[in-house]
Structure 1
């Protein structure tokens, strides 16, 4: 990675000092660096606050089974075992923990699973076993007569659940590693060769990671799940080779990271391709490998994540159990080496481009899975461009035509030529002639199948019908970046008179100038002038020029969605540029 000055990077990341731990021990940590001892005290204080809340929560009956119960028990166990905690060895914590595990045992199915997310689900049961096994590890290391009943209940639940994981199945790629990590944790508590054999059976399928660093699902949510699970298996079963894939994925993840910690998900094949997610869950993974590998850049990213909004509420609050169970988390971080904040990266395996110029970033995407099928496990995001300048965010730019209701433009890959990224899609829509004699059926009951262009289905035996009157539309979008300024050129030709729409979605809460609000349609604007601007706080995005040739802005998703009353429209402020084919328009964004 290209280096920048340490001062510049730390100003952007608001980084803290690195940990300097003298001798970690279960239940207590001693530091040689006062500021870092304060960080550990922050962890303990966060746990104290959470435990105070939990004691109130569990003063009443538990009524809902959820994964969070595992973290609740784990936090209570950490407080009970940490000598610096306000709740060290307090009897009321044992009462609350016992209530949780009794509830979970009652909810446990005969086969050992829980109805958690899915019915009698081994992988969902594995998710809750992670914090439960950590809690059991801590409590066993601090065993006393006061904990005997609690430990017995935990053992019964975990072993019964372990058997369901040893023989049970999964749904998705990451589930294999979730189940395997849970089995590794159970094996560390209650050794059993059968657990390891099952882990090896899953691992024998091999861990796929592409040349850029994507796991199978290309999802930031499930990449983090996979990273953490592989780390768990590697450390508990002494399989260091598993960390190779984790390192590769974490290297990629940095380039997908925005200046505020949000993560790019355009090329995901799971539900997060239409969600806003951030880097917070990756904290454990970066911290572990920063220390394990003495990786200075991972250390810098670790410190950055500590200052991402929500760290205290979502990470710090649950950190104590992990620190006590695996002392490596509290060893000194290496001195940071600052990753570049000035780069241009073309990820060819998913056809995604990331460009960053300090706090200005852009993403170009042209890697949807074809044929486009709306289902989890397929990449269908029509967002081809996003742009951020500080707090001013263009959440997405999309291009749509009303060409036979085919909807949004989705590029078939990206080509880089003469400094420009070129996206392209060509669509044909035929009409159909009568079936040839040899394919006709007396009862008229023909095969139920998709049309040859994939737009719709019917019992028409489309594959055997001659095609005629074939209409086409060919669209190209080229994007060139120069020091934060992007020039976009749109060309759409073929059938004439087709309405086309360029859709820009800006982050809600900002202010637009140079556009005209659409009557009786809040947060929707037409842009036909030369220049316009979007401002959020102290940051602004300038764009132009505009064009308006028609007023059709509904149903941009196309028949694939409208036939089921679906929509891909997200929250935001929308600006529309409209034209008709043959269409050519050039605009800049900076």
Structure 2
């Protein structure tokens, strides 16, 4: 997923990245008999997406909106419109598609292209109506796919493509002017623009395209020693950056960016949960802590598995095929334009499933023991997750009502042998009268700030959390020192859809429970997480200063400071 979901209930993402084709590997004529079954399945899936998109196209009203497509929110926009061109190009090009060389589909795509030209600003940019206007990077997101669509249609052999290609070139060349000078917002936008310029340069070579891409690349790739990119966005933007860098590497004949892609793919091997979801807890973007699968990595892993004859990458591809195959349809144009990707993958090498791996730059520790794993996270109010198969404890939080700022969060994870230590130190002062010479004549409180007042009766609360691996799971030991009688609560936040046992419902709540018994359990399908012992000294779970409860079944352990408790998960 590269930007937004613009059309509801479609199985193919709208904004996947195309691969730059190289001379000699782009098939001028496709023989459907030579296409592997998995690729034929994606073509058939794409046909359904094309059918759905065509129902959103405006064709009953002449004028500025004619030919454009609305999104699922009934908003006319260039991204949904471009999707019809992108997906339609794959269909026109594929002999097994019901739309192969379809004159009617080509006509609809031409109308969509004319709408894109009308909605394009004079500077060559387009708008992302949900947030960005006159946006160079959002123009880049569209251009990198429309450039591939241009080539697919050109090679399709469809009758009467000249008018369509001329119109699409008009849009792309204007966009290229914007991409050659425009600015960006985020780190990955540099590679979006560079990849789009690379695709344009393949179609219509121009020194200004290469010069601008080289200027962005001159800032160096934002990858750390862990193998993670700046945004740490494991579901969306890390995989996007991998695809972008492959495009740049191939199109500009620069092998160096592939080394960074390999570093990220190597790291990602250790970000996989037992159920083939990806760890997203440390992300700095909108995919933080979401449930995400691995389809966005399929193209990078497949490309380099074949190029490098890398059996570990091949094993990741087969894992993705097993767990998220339909979602890889977002990248159909990659596979149609590079027949080398149709080759059989090399033999598998075993994936890592039994390890302790620390990623200090991401503030993350991963512990996996086959079907059981956990994640420790710094700089996050959720600092622990635990999973057994499909039974998911998606977060643990701790809070106290200490001066309205008692939500526990640690800046770093400190390892001592087989134990990880997380600490937080808080102070709650009171304030004395301000110095006489600092008194505001009008009595305005804001003109006599607390920072200038002497402090007294300073209360302190230190929380220390130790996390250890046990023979069959994990344990968390929580200890507080300092101010006494502060209400505190430990939250165990489970994924919706399972069954809790051994816990007591808290009245007047939707899905909140107390663990009073020695042991509780959470079952999902055939997998169970057991946890305990319990602690339930009060029922105040909405502590002042704590984060609001999540929309998920949550079990609480409650007590007062000094808080001393050890809970185990297995």
> Structure 1 stretch 530-539 or stretch 72-81: which is displaced more?
72-81
Q: Aligned runs of 1:50-199 on 2, under 5 Å?
A: 50-58=49-57, 60=59, 62-63=69-70, 64-116=76-128, 117=130, 118-142=132-156, 146-199=160-213
Q: Is the 8 A contact 1:261 1:280 kept in 2?
A: no
Aligned equivalents of 1:557, 1:280: Cα separation in 2: 38
Question: For 2:403, what is the secondary structure of its paired residue?
Answer: helix
Q: Aligned runs of 1:174-323 on 2, under 5 Å?
A: 174-220=188-234, 221-309=236-324, 311-312=325-326, 314-316=327-329, 318-323=330-335
* Counterpart residue number, 1:411: 410
- Deviation of 1:201 (Å): 1.4
Aligned equivalents of 1:249, 1:557: Cα separation in 2: 37
* Counterpart residue number, 1:391: 390
Aligned equivalents of 2:352, 2:293: Cα separation in 1: 19
Unaligned runs of 5+ in 1: 1-21, 369-380, 447-457, 562-566
- Deviation of 1:426 (Å): 0.8
Question: For 1:169, what is the secondary structure of its paired residue?
Answer: coil
Aligned equivalents of 1:281, 1:556: Cα separation in 2: 40
Q: Is the 8 A contact 2:522 2:528 kept in 1?
A: yes
> Structure 1 stretch 391-400 or stretch 262-271: which is displaced more?
262-271
Q: Is the 8 A contact 1:26 1:324 kept in 2?
A: no
- Deviation of 1:418 (Å): 3.1
For normalisation by structure 2, the TM-score amounts to 0.88
Cα deviation, 1:93-123, whole Å, max 9, x if unaligned, reads 2112112111211111121111114111111
For normalisation by structure 1, the TM-score amounts to 0.85
Aligned equivalents of 1:69, 1:351: Cα separation in 2: 40
Residue 325 to residue 468, structure 1, CA distance change in 2 (3 Å) = same
Question: For 2:322, what is the secondary structure of its paired residue?
Answer: coil
Q: Number of matched residues?
A: 531
Cα deviation, 1:483-541, whole Å, max 9, x if unaligned, reads 44112111011111111100011111211111111112231111121111111111111
Aligned equivalents of 2:550, 2:352: Cα separation in 1: 31
Q: Aligned runs of 1:327-342 on 2, under 5 Å?
A: 327-342=339-354
Aligned equivalents of 2:115, 2:448: Cα separation in 1: 56
Aligned equivalents of 2:463, 2:197: Cα separation in 1: 51
* Counterpart residue number, 1:480: 468
Aligned equivalents of 2:470, 2:344: Cα separation in 1: 40
Q: Is the 8 A contact 1:125 1:161 kept in 2?
A: yes
Residue 424 to residue 160, structure 1, CA distance change in 2 (3 Å) = same
Q: Aligned runs of 1:10-89 on 2, under 5 Å?
A: 25-28=27-30, 37-58=36-57, 60=59, 62-63=69-70, 64-89=76-101
Residue 484 to residue 113, structure 1, CA distance change in 2 (3 Å) = farther
CA RMSD of superposed structures (Å): 2.3
Unaligned runs of 5+ in 2: 1-23, 60-66, 71-75
Residue 507 to residue 145, structure 1, CA distance change in 2 (3 Å) = closer
- Deviation of 1:59 (Å): 7.6
Q: Is the 8 A contact 2:282 2:289 kept in 1?
A: no
Aligned equivalents of 2:287, 2:200: Cα separation in 1: 30
Aligned equivalents of 1:290, 1:408: Cα separation in 2: 44
Cα deviation, 1:286-319, whole Å, max 9, x if unaligned, reads 111212222111111011111224x31x322x44
* Counterpart residue number, 1:454: none
